[in-house]
């Protein structure tokens, strides 16, 4: 009994002490904030600037509480996500449009799209009758490609046409591009002639090109317009465009000559001509430009939107940063899949016959490369027969070479994808990989050599492992660097085929180096 009372007392004391610490931390934070605020106010007065309005200042108490409650908030959020899906199914079954509307309004469209993705086709059919056209359009824009196609397949043509009137042209093109040909033609024929011509043109561009991902909803104004005129136009057409943060400027021949940031437009005198405040260092791409290159340009120049222009420098459309994020995610997924020797088209829900079709060719190619390694081993059949220990240890050398080659290759593929590698300028990178091969090979070879020498009682076998490991890791560094660079030079996706060539090189040459050295020291191994 006394022990329990003592334990409870300790717990109470610990709790009180924790509260004191929390209170001291809060008081310290408040003092620091007050001191900083005094300094900032003094600086503002000195420079003649107004301080931030009270509603723009951080609430210190709320800020402090948010830090201490972060962990509990994450757990509650996870629980809510699990409950949301069941709740949506329940609301659909009830069929009350007002309840669905309230549920939709309480969520971000992207989160709602995730909930819809968990529904079966029957529930999605019911849901389309419970959402209005604006909500369906928003859902389609936020959904991923697979969900878009599911919804489009389940919607009637007349409903889909109404939805398209609320969507941006690039999203419409994405949906129509994956649609069955007959239905796509039928829907296009029912669209307004102006929209039909634009969408038909966009459909001609490859999906992975600048033209394929651009939108035609942008703001372009002549350079001789005033800021006041520009603002009036933006008020009128702004809701119909993708972005308004950047206004593109053209000359009298409609050629792109610059752009104006909305901030500069708002702060300039009303009678100022756009040519006087525009930035003429505009970065643009042509419609045939690969989407990966567009992403590199956006990243390099920190752009919010990049214009797509014709050969005559006339603006055709723009690519927004949200589309670039999708491109980066798509390219990342594709590279990861290719490095693993599978297609980016395949997922866990892919039919088994399609998975066979996508995987089997690469497995056959890998089999052919395995025959090369096997042939190399066969050359040294006599050596292996006289020193059986070689058969148990040679795979260590080839395996470590393959791992090291994959490391180098992965870095090179990433550098090439980001456009940050230029071999003519960065040739020292190859020397670095060779040096790494020597250093890492010596370190790994020393460890392996000591273990092998002790286990088999043969110092010469350990020495052979040591030298072979250095040689194969140098080979791994050279091929891990050179193969992606060469493939990229010939416009072949380095992520697609690099692993095959690098693995083949490290296996074949690794066996050759190891067994070749073993042949030289064979007398010492028997």
Our separate counts of H helices and E strands in the chain read 25, 5
Whether 152 has a pLDDT exceeding 80, the answer reads yes
Please check whether residue 274 is in contact with residue 224, taking contact to mean a CB–CB distance below 8 angstroms.
yes
The size of the chain, in residues, is 526
Task: DSSP letter for 269, please.
Answer: -
In three-state secondary structure terms, 246 is strand
Distance CA 260, CA 347 (A): 43
- pLDDT score for 2: 45
Asked whether residue 516 carries a pLDDT value surpassing 80, the answer given is yes
CA distance 142 to 152: 14
pLDDT at 427: 74
Instruction: Report how far residue 468's alpha carbon sits from residue 521's, in angstroms, rounded to the nearest whole number.
Output: 13
| Torsion angle, alpha carbons of 93, 98, 99, 105, to 10 | 130
pLDDT of residue 205: 92
Q: How far is CA 279 from the centre of its chain?
A: 30
Q: Is 344 a residue whose pLDDT tops 90? A: no
Q: Tell me how far CA of residue 65 lies from CA of 22, 68, 72, in angstroms.
A: 10, 5, 12
Can you tell me the distance from the alpha carbon of 472 to that of 395, in angstroms, rounded to the nearest whole number? Answer: 12
d(CA 94, CA 517): 77
Taking the CA atoms of residue 178, residue 155, residue 199 and residue 306 in that order, the dihedral angle to the nearest 10 degrees is -80
pLDDT at 237 over 90: no
Q: Output the six-digit token pair for 523.
A: 């007398």
Check whether 325 has a pLDDT greater than 80: yes
pLDDT band at 300; cut points 50, 70, 90: confident
Q: How do 220-222 and 246-250 pair as beta strands?
A: parallel
Q: What is the arithmetic mean of pLDDT over 400-406?
A: 92
So what's the pLDDT on residue 20? 66
Q: What is the pLDDT of residues 375-386, one digit of tens each?
A: 999 999 999 988
For the segment 197-222, the average pLDDT, to the nearest whole number, is: 90
Residue found under tokens 């000359």: 251
What are the tokens at 339?
Answer: 């490095």
Q: What is the mean pLDDT of residues 281-297?
A: 92
Query: Can you give the pLDDT at residue 377?
Result: 93
Per-residue confidence (pLDDT) for residue 12, from 0 to 100: 47
The most confident of 91-95, 213-217, 435-439, by mean pLDDT: 435-439
Output the furthest CA–CA distance in the chain (Å, rounded): 95
CA 241 to chain centre: 25
Lowest mean pLDDT among 187-191, 314-318, 412-416, 519-523: 412-416
Strands 220-222 vs 315-320: parallel, antiparallel or unpaired: unpaired
Please name the residues in contact with 167: beta carbons below 8 A apart, sequence gap of 6 or more.
Answer: 137, 140, 141
Residue 488 pLDDT grade (very low, low, confident, very high; cuts 50, 70, 90): confident
Q: Are 157 and 190 in contact (CB under 8 A)?
A: yes
Distance, in Å, from the CA atom of 334 to the CA atom of 314, rounded to the nearest integer, reads 33
452 pLDDT tier (thresholds 50, 70, 90) = very high
Dihedral angle computed from the Cα positions of residues 210, 211, 213 and 217, in that order, rounded to the nearest 10 degrees = 120
- Looking at residue 265, what is its pLDDT? 94
CA nearest neighbour of 512 among 460, 482, 475: 475
Stretch 276-287: mean pLDDT: 95
The helix/strand/coil state of 279 is strand
Is residue 48 scored above 50 in pLDDT? no
Report whether pLDDT(446) > 60.
Answer: yes
- Where does the pLDDT of residue 357 fall: very low under 50, low under 70, confident under 90, or very high at 90 and above? confident
Min mean pLDDT across 36-45, 115-124, 268-277, 374-383 is at 36-45
| Gap between the Cα atoms of 219 and 166, Å rounded | 18
What is the pLDDT averaged over residues 111-126? 90
Percent of the chain with pLDDT over 90: 43
CA atoms of 76 and 492, how far apart (whole Å): 47
* Residue 451 pLDDT greater than 70, yes or no: yes
Highest mean pLDDT: which of 6-10, 179-183, 285-289?
285-289
* Stretch 463-487: mean pLDDT: 93
More confident residue, 74 or 512: 512
Mean pLDDT, the chain, integer: 83
Strand-pairing partners, residue 259, are 248, 279
Q: How many CA atoms lie within 13 A of 205 on its CB side?
A: 25
Residue 51 has what pLDDT? 52
Secondary structure element (H or E) that encloses residue 402, with its range:
helix 389-418
Band of residue 500 on the pLDDT scale cut at 50, 70, 90: confident
Q: Which residues pair with 273 in a beta bridge?
A: 226
């Amino acid at each position: 009994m006394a022990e329990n009372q003592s334990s409870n007392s300790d717990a109470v004391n610990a709790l009180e002490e924790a509260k004191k610490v929390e209170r001291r931390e809060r008081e310290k934070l408040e003092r620091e904030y007050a001191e900083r605020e005094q300094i900032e106010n003094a600086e503002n007065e000195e420079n003649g600037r107004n301080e931030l309005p009270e509603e723009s200042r951080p609430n210190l108490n709320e800020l402090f509480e948010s830090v201490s409650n972060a962990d509990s908030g994450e757990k509650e959020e996870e629980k809510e996500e699990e409950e949301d899906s069941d709740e949506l199914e329940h609301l659909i079954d009830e069929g009350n449009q007002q309840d669905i509307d309230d549920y939709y309004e309480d969520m971000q469209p992207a989160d709602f799209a995730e909930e819809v993705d968990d529904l079966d086709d029957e529930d999605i059919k019911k849901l389309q009758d419970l959402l209005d056209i604006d909500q369906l359009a928003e859902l389609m824009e936020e959904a991923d490609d697979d969900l878009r196609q599911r919804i489009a397949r389940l919607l009637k043509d007349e409903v889909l046409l109404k939805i398209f009137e609320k969507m941006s042209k690039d999203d419409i093109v994405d949906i129509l591009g994956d649609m069955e040909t007959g239905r796509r033609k039928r829907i296009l024929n029912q669209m307004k002639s102006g929209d039909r011509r634009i969408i038909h043109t966009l459909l001609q561009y490859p999906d992975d090109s600048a033209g394929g991902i651009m939108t035609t909803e942008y703001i372009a104004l002549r350079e001789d317009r005033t800021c006041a005129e520009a603002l009036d136009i933006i008020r009128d057409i702004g809701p119909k465009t993708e972005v308004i943060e950047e206004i593109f400027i053209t000359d009298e021949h409609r050629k792109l000559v610059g752009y104006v940031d909305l901030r500069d437009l708002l702060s300039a005198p009303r009678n100022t001509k756009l040519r006087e405040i525009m930035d003429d260092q505009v970065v643009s791409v042509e419609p045939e430009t690969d989407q990966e290159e567009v992403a590199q340009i956006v990243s390099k120049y920190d752009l919010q939107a990049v214009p797509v222009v014709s050969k005559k420098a006339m603006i055709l459309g723009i690519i927004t940063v949200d589309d670039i994020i999708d491109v980066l995610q798509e390219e990342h997924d594709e590279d990861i899949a290719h490095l693993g020797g599978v297609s980016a088209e395949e997922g866990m829900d892919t039919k088994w016959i399609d998975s066979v079709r996508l995987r089997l060719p690469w497995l056959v190619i890998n089999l052919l490369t395995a025959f090369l390694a096997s042939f190399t081993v066969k050359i040294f059949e006599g050596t292996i027969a006289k020193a059986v220990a070689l058969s148990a240890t040679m795979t260590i050398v080839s395996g470590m070479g393959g791992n090291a080659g994959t490391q180098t290759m992965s870095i090179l593929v990433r550098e090439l994808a980001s456009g940050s590698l230029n071999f003519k300028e960065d040739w020292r990178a190859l020397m670095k990989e060779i040096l790494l091969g020597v250093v890492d090979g010596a370190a790994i070879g020393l460890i392996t050599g000591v273990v092998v020498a002790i286990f088999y009682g043969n110092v010469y076998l350990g020495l052979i492992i040591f030298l072979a490991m250095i040689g194969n890791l140098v080979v791994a560094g050279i091929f891990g660097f050179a193969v992606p660079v060469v493939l990229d030079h010939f416009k072949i996706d380095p992520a697609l085929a690099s692993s095959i060539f690098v693995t083949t090189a490290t296996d074949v040459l690794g066996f050759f180096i190891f067994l070749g050295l073993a042949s030289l020291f064979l007398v010492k191994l028997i």
